[in-house]
Structure 1
Amino acid sequence: MSDQELSQRPPTETEVRQASEAARALAKALTPKGLPFSVQRNGDRTEVDLPPALGQLVLDVLTHVARGEMVTFVPYGAELTTKEAADLLNVSRPFLVSMLSEGKIPFHKVGSHRRVRASDVLAFRAQRDVERSGALADLQRLGQEFDAD
């Protein structure tokens, strides 16, 4: 197992397998009331009962790792570097910097470095996704109209 975080590397085969096994077990245990499970270590057993939203979050993380994907947690109030923000938007850093310069996403400077609030990046991404979905729906409608003619 690597010491490097899963946000910096893909999971190993062992991690993928273990995440898959854990996800299957926890998916069976997740109910609308929550995710009850127990942890045993050195003979001590601890009962844990997560609320449904946290149980689903744990299951989502395990599912991503089981697919061999890298996972990064971004607290909503965090300040991100331009590299981190670009990675979150799946764009290049220079493209993000141009969007910042155009005022599409608010930022501030710490010394000579730009910092972007995660909440602003996530709001931009949500708005972008809404616009993309609308454009896709328009294209589908136009395609159906064209096919009907």
Structure 2
Amino acid sequence: MTPEAGPNGTEQANQALCQLNRILDSDSSGSDVTIRVEADDRIVTVSRTVAEVLRQVLANTAAGQAVSVVPMHAEFTTQQAADILNVSRPYLVKLLDAGEIEYRKVGSHRRIKAASLAAYRHQSEVESRRAADELTELTEEMGLY
């Protein structure tokens, strides 16, 4: 499920994110986090790991981005994986064939784990940052910046 946050949802997410950041940043013990539901004063206790995931969801929602939570063991078709990476399906297949992204075959169909997509995306972002840093360094050395 990928809900869209309207203007009110974005503001609420931002307020909740600020509060959750204060809680998580002030407690380095790794203990559980208690959340009070204002409507009926119920208490919900979640693990630190779940609270960190909630922080990421709130940060993206506050930024106006849609959010999907997917188990890391979930598997995607090549089209779904291409959509997630925002690339064409043929380009994704080239990445799979080149061994850039781990996958398995089910009959003649490829299945890609969410964890494999996350690892590829992370590595791609690291390489992009490194290339941008090198370009900035070269520009400065040449006196163009």
8 Å CA contact retained: 1:29, 1:36: no
Quote the Cα distance in structure 2 between the aligned partners of 1:144 and 1:56. 38
Cα shift readout 1:83-108 (whole Å, capped 9, x = no counterpart): 33223323222321222233322322
Q: Does 1:110 align with 2:106?
A: yes
Q: Does 1:73 align with 2:75?
A: no
Report 1 or 2 for greater relative contact order, CA contacts < 8 Å, sequence distance ≥ 6.
2
- Cα 1:47–1:104, aligned 2, differ >3 Å: closer, same or farther? closer
Match in the other structure for 2:92: 96
Match in the other structure for 1:119: 115
Match in the other structure for 1:36: 34
Q: How many residues align?
A: 140
- Cα 1:17–1:127, aligned 2, differ >3 Å: closer, same or farther? closer
Partner SS, residue 147 of structure 1: coil
Structure 2 gap segments, 5+ residues each: none
Partner SS, residue 111 of structure 2: strand
Match in the other structure for 1:10: 4
Match in the other structure for 2:20: 26
- Cα 1:87–1:140, aligned 2, differ >3 Å: closer, same or farther? same
Q: How does 1:39-58 map to 2 (within 5 A)?
A: 39=37, 45-48=42-45, 50-51=47-48, 53-58=49-54
8 Å CA contact retained: 2:34, 2:44: yes
RMSD over equivalenced CA pairs, Å: 2.7
Structure 1 gap segments, 5+ residues each: none
TM-score, with length taken from structure 1: 0.72
8 Å CA contact retained: 2:34, 2:43: no
